[in-house]
Amino acid sequence: MSIKAATGHEVKGYCLHKPGAWQDEPWEGDVVAKVGSKIFAFLGEDTVGVKCGKGRAEADEWIEEFPDEVTVSPYIGRHGWNVLRIGGAIPVEALVEAIDTSYDLVVATLPKSQRP
C-alpha cells in the first residue's frame, strides 16, 4: 500500500497495512498503530507522531528541515519522537519515510519471537 494524498485517513491506512500492525486506543481518544505490544505511530486527524531517530539529535533533523511542520513529542520527545503535520509542507514521500523509520526502529526493539 502507498499513500496517495497526505490525509490522516491515508496515513492511518498506510500504518495499519505494515506487517503485524494493529490499531489500539490505550488512552481514551488517542488512536495508535502498534506492532507487537509497542506503539510505532500516534494517529491524529492532521498529525502523526513517530520515532524519527534513535535519539533527539537524529529527530532534530526533521525540525531543522520542516520547522513549521514538526514539533517534539510531549513526554517522549527526548527519545527521538516527533509530531509531524499531515497535509502541510512535508512531502508525502517524507511522511512515508518517517513512518517506515519509526516502524523499523520499533520492530528492532521487539523480541525476535514477536517480530513480524
Task: Determine the pLDDT at residue 6.
Answer: 77
What are the sequence ranges of the domains in the chain?
8-114
Rg (CA), the chain: 13
Q: Longest Cα pair distance anywhere in the chain, in angstroms? A: 40
Q: What is the pLDDT of residues 15-53, one digit of tens each?
A: 999 999 999 999 888 999 999 999 999 999 999 999 999
State the architecture of 8-114 in CATH terms. Answer: Alpha-Beta Complex (3.90)
Residue in the structure block whose three cell numbers are 520492530: 107
Measured distance between the N- and C-terminal CA atoms of the chain, rounded to whole angstroms: 17
Give counts: helices (H), strands (E), the chain. Answer: 3, 6
Residues 6 or more apart in contact with residue 55 via CB below 8 angstroms: 79, 80
53-74 tens-digit pLDDT: 999 999 999 999 999 999 999 9
